[in-house]
């Protein structure tokens, strides 16, 4: 059924967009087609009046891979030629070319570019309309029956053929006298009538339980697939209690063939006087094939009877309990992606449905949410978008646990601004868990408290939770990007000062220890011990910092600043340690002389001898007054460079 209605919906979208543009009602709402280096050129053909092909309004409808449609208009020249230039030639973009002639939209050809192709040529056929519907036949009526929420849903698609030579159409002023080309009657008690995509065809009149269609319906003999695949689609629901439900479906215009489809996993369906056939189309991967029942040649005014065995259920909204809601958030530059999972529990041993015209409960979907999607079991559980109040759950819900998933996007108008997410559940919720992908965001909430972060192989999630959310309570979560590092708070400042003080004490105490050393080896060991102790202190501080952050003892900003300070200090210590080890591995400058014997070795200055200037006075560090050795170019205590201008003792 979905496959058969593709062409009908394409023509419907084109006709509605064309009418809206023509009336000036949607000029500012429909974007232009995607730009590029492609072009579509063509001409108009009018067999009824060949001279009336100039100055005709032409329309180009585009559906890119992004899903955002576009519409562009042009006019034909005196010879009936037209062109749409500077359009995208992306093979994933589908185009529909057409015209609006004598107040009627005429869809032409569907066009798509091949890879590397930059120009396409099309022909659009128009003609004078006629109110004569004698050549119209209903070749097939397809009914798809489902059940959800104590209700039966029926989707109808009626396919037409026009064996006449002209387009059948009756303008609005003529419909009181003209005969409709198609009539349909909804079953008794039908509610929630709607048209796919919410777009009503130009010639459709809905009057109570009766539908009348006045066209346009193009001659089926015209070239192009749209002329051969035309129809009308609509949907509605019926209330259904437990037990066997009988539905009488009337066909005022008749049908050459009636096909009824029902899911093989749903309630048992019987079509009186029908035969069962294997469906011609294969189901989607992972789906069970539906059951198909066929009735041939239903005469105008005839009817068929459907009998559906509805499972046992009870109306008891109080038997439904919320157990937990888990929400996963991820922010990019364009939108906040939300994945919401809800665990429900139904007490008792019978399925629960909503009362007539009501719901079991409402699941939160914030205002402004885009691309709202439900999981595969949602419809079977009666979950559907509400009218501005979130997602409505009607059931049936089986006894025990049921999990439902909703996904949507919240647009981000200012990437640097804050985003507020308000959640209200309408029922007592024992546990609310929120997991925020750590992509440089700050999360604030008076109701949610922080848990230990949750880590996966590719990312870390900030974990928040709230217990016992009351029915009238609104949980607000404010998200904002992390800004520039803020000034350290008092607690963070104390920690950094304490670390710095420890380093100063280590450096001040070092000369006292070194004074008691009598060799370069002892001196090196002392420096290595001090560096090791300092590194261990930094590592311990990092571990303590992580623990304080995971237990929510410090804020995000303090954590980022202090972690950066400690990591930088640890890296500096590692570089210093690596450099010292490399220096010790190099051969000493006097090793070549030591091979000549002990006397030669004693004639060279030793590494631990005190450095003296030309007057024989010992040289000291100009910064800390520590004595310098003969081999020192920098002070061993404070690192100050020692040169010939150093102070003397």
Q: Write phi, then psi, for 111 (nearest 5 degrees).
A: -130, 140
Q: Which residue has the higher pLDDT, 641 or 137?
A: 137
Report helix angle 556-585 to 490-515, nearest 10: 20
- At 634 the pLDDT is 66
- Among the listed ranges 73-82, 88-97, 472-481, which one has the minimum average pLDDT value? 472-481
Q: Of 239, 311, 307, 245, which Cα lies nearest the Cα of 274?
A: 307
Quote the pLDDT of residue 169. 95
Asked if residue 451 has pLDDT above 70, the reply is yes
Q: How far is CA 350 from the centre of its chain?
A: 36
Confidence (pLDDT) at 116 = 93
Residue 615 has a pLDDT of 45
Which range is least confidently modeled, 133-147, 432-446, 542-556?
Answer: 542-556
Per-residue confidence at 506, pLDDT binned at 50, 70, 90? Answer: low
> What local confidence, expressed as pLDDT, does residue 409 receive?
85
Q: Where is pLDDT greater, at 321 or 502?
A: 321
Confidence category of residue 433, pLDDT binned at 50, 70, 90: very high
Looking at residue 647, its pLDDT comes to: 41
Q: Is pLDDT above 50 for 299?
A: yes
pLDDT of residue 28: 42
482-510 mean pLDDT: 51
Q: pTM score > 0.75 for this model?
A: no
Say what the pLDDT of residue 521 is: 53
Tokens of 64: 């890119």
C-alpha angle with apex 111: 109 to 115, nearest 5 degrees? 160
The answer to whether residues 595 and 626 touch, using CB atoms and an 8 Å cutoff, is no
Rg (CA), the chain: 40
Residue 31's closest CA among 39, 40, 21, 23? 21
Q: Express each pLDDT in 303-360 by its tens digit.
A: 999 999 887 888 888 999 999 999 998 887 667 889 999 999 999 888 888 887 788 8
**Residue 567: its pLDDT value, please?**
75
Rounded to 5°, the CA angle 356-360-362 comes to 120
pLDDT tier for residue 628 given thresholds of 50, 70 and 90: low
Q: Which residue has the higher pLDDT, 41 or 539?
A: 41
Instruction: Tell me which of 60-74, 110-124, 257-271, 298-312 is least confident.
Output: 60-74
Q: 534 is written with which tokens? A: 């300092």
What is the chain's length?
Answer: 649
Q: DSSP string of 241-254?
A: -SEEEEEEEEETT-
Highest mean pLDDT among 318-322, 373-377, 410-414, 572-576: 318-322
Could you tell me which residues are beta bridge partners of residue 289? none
Mean pLDDT lowest among 63-72, 126-135, 495-504: 495-504
> How far apart (Å, rounded) are the C-alpha atoms in residues 562 and 576?
21
Average pLDDT over residues 375-403: 80
For the chain, how many helices (H) and strands (E)?
7, 36
The whole-angstrom separation of Cα 244 and Cα 310 is 6
| 3-state secondary structure (DSSP) of residue 198 | helix
Range 356-366 average pLDDT: 83
556-585 vs 520-550: helix axis angle to the nearest 10? 160
Average the pLDDT over 393-409 and give the result.
88
Of 426, 476, 435, nearest in space to 455 by CA = 435
Higher pLDDT, 641 or 385: 385
Cβ distance 98 to 51 under 8 Å?
no
Nearest Cα neighbor of 394 from 152, 127, 81 is 152
Report whether pLDDT(519) > 60: no
Query: What are the tens digits of pLDDT across the range 12-43?
Result: 445 544 444 444 444 345 688 999 999 999 99
pLDDT for 553 equals 61
- 63, two tokens: 């559906």
Beta pairing partners, 74:
58
Whether the predicted pLDDT of 258 surpasses 90? yes
- Give Cβ neighbours of residue 433 (< 8 Å, ≥ 6 apart): 324, 325, 326, 327, 463, 464, 465
Q: How remote is the C-alpha of 75 from its chain's centroid? A: 39
At 566 the pLDDT is 76
For residue 595, the model assigns a pLDDT of 42
Separation CA 22–CA 27 (nearest Å): 9
pLDDT at 530: 65
Give the pLDDT confidence score for residue 64 in this predicted structure.
84
**What Å distances lie between residue 591 and 93, 271, 608, CA to CA?**
78, 105, 15
Beta pairing partners, 401: 345
Mean pLDDT, the chain, rounded, equals 78
Residue pair 183/253 in contact by the 8 Å Cβ criterion: yes
pLDDT at 3: 40
For the segment 237-257, what is each residue's pLDDT rounded down to a tens digit?
888 777 888 999 999 999 999
pLDDT score recorded for residue 395: 81
Q: What is the pLDDT of residue 131?
A: 94
Closest CA to 157 of 195, 193, 105, 190: 195
Q: What pLDDT does 2 receive?
A: 41
């Amino acid at each position: 059924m979905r496959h058969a209605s593709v062409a009908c919906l394409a023509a419907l979208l084109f006709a509605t967009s064309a009418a809206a543009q023509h009336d000036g009602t949607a000029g500012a709402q429909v974007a232009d087609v995607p730009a590029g280096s492609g072009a579509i050129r063509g001409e108009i053909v009018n067999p009824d009046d060949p001279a009336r092909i100039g100055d005709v309004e032409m329309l180009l409808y585009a559906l890119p891979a992004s899903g955002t449609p576009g519409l562009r208009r042009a006019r034909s020249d005196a010879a009936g030629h037209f062109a749409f230039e500077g359009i995208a030639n992306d093979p994933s973009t589908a185009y529909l070319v057409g015209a609006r002639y004598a107040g009627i939209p005429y869809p032409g050809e569907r066009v798509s570019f091949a890879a590397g192709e930059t120009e396409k040529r099309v022909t659009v056929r128009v003609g004078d309309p006629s109110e004569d519907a004698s050549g119209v036949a209903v070749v097939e009526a397809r009914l798809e029956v489902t059940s959800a929420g104590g209700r039966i849903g029926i989707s109808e698609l009626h396919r037409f053929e026009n064996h006449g030579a002209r387009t059948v159409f009756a303008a609005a002023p003529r419909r009181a006298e003209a005969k409709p080309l198609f009539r349909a009657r909804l079953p008794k008690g039908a509610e929630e009538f709607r048209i796919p995509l919410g777009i009503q065809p130009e010639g459709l009149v809905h009057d109570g339980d009766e539908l009348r269609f006045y066209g346009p319906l193009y001659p089926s003999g015209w070239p192009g697939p749209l002329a051969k695949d035309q129809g009308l689609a609509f949907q509605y629901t019926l209330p259904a209690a437990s037990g066997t439900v009988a539905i009488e479906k009337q066909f005022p215009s008749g049908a050459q063939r009636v096909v009824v489809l029902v899911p093989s996993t749903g309630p048992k369906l019987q079509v009186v006087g029908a035969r069962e056939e294997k469906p011609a189309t294969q189901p989607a991967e992972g789906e069970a094939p539906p059951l198909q029942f066929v009735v041939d040649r239903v005469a105008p005014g005839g009817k068929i009877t459907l009998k559906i065995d509805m499972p046992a259920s009870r109306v008891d909204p109080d038997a439904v309990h919320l157990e937990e809601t888990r929400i996963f958030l991820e922010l990019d530059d364009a939108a906040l992606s939300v994945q919401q999972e809800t665990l429900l529990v139904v007490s008792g041993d019978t399925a629960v449905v909503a009362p007539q015209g009501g719901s079991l409960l409402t699941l939160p979907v914030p205002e402004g949410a885009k691309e709202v999607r439900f999981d595969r079991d949602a419809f079977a559980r009666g979950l559907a978008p509400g009218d501005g109040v979130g997602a409505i759950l009607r059931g049936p819900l089986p006894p025990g646990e049921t999990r439902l998933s909703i996904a949507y996007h919240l647009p981000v108008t200012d990437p640097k601004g804050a985003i507020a997410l308000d959640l209200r559940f309408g029922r007592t919720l024992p546990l609310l868990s929120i997991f925020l992908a750590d992509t440089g965001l700050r999360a604030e909430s008076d109701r949610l408290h922080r848990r230990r972060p949750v880590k996966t192989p590719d990312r870390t999630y900030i974990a928040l939770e709230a217990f016992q959310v009351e029915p009238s309570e609104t949980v607000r979560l404010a998200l904002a990007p992390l800004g520039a590092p803020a000034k350290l708070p008092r607690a963070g400042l104390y920690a950094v000062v304490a670390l710095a003080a420890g380093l100063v004490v280590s450096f001040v105490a070092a000369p006292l220890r070194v004074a008691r050393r009598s060799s370069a080896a002892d001196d090196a060991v002392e420096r290595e011990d001090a560096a090791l102790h300092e590194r261990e202190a930094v590592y311990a501080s990092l571990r303590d910092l992580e623990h304080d952050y995971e237990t929510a003892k410090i804020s995000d900003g303090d954590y980022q600043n202090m972690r950066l300070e400690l990591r930088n200090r640890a890296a500096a210590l590692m570089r210093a340690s690596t450099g010292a080890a490399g220096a010790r591995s190099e051969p000493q400058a006097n090793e070549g002389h030591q091979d000549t014997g002990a006397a030669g070795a004693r004639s060279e200055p030793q590494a631990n001898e005190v450095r003296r200037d030309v007057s024989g006075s010992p040289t000291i560090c100009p910064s800390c007054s520590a004595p310098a050795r003969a081999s020192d170019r920098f002070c061993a205590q404070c690192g100050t460079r020692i040169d010939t201008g150093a102070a003397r003792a």
